[in-house]
Amino acid sequence: MRRQDTKGDLLSVLVRAERSLVMIAKVDKSKCIACGVCEGACPQVFRMGDDWLYEVYTNPIPPEYQDSARKAADACPVDAITID
């Protein structure tokens, strides 16, 4: 019984750790003004779409681009980018 509790605890710790590593970005196109700041900060994740508004094309965001994706979200002048 006790051993199973330990396994359950370990599993829940691992699941939480994995979730904390997965980063998903979204652009609310109803807010986007197509300024291009996000692409300038993180071109590996953000680009202009066919509708001339910006979009995320790399989800989940690879670890090496997570810092720049957060910078892009912080720099968006209309807070159109959310990162979970």
**Contact residues for ligand SF4, defined by CB under 6 A:** 27, 32-38, 54, 76-78, 80-81
Shortest CB 22 distance to ligand SF4, Å:
21
Closer by beta carbon to ligand SF4, 8 or else 36 = 36
Shortest CB 76 distance to ligand SF4, Å:
3
| Residue 48, helix vs strand vs coil | strand
Q: Encoding tokens for residue 23?
A: 């980063």
> What is the spatial distance between Cα 66 and Cα 84, in angstroms, rounded to a whole number?
11
> What is the spatial distance between Cα 37 and Cα 5, in angstroms, rounded to a whole number?
49
Shortest CB 2 distance to ligand SF4, Å:
51
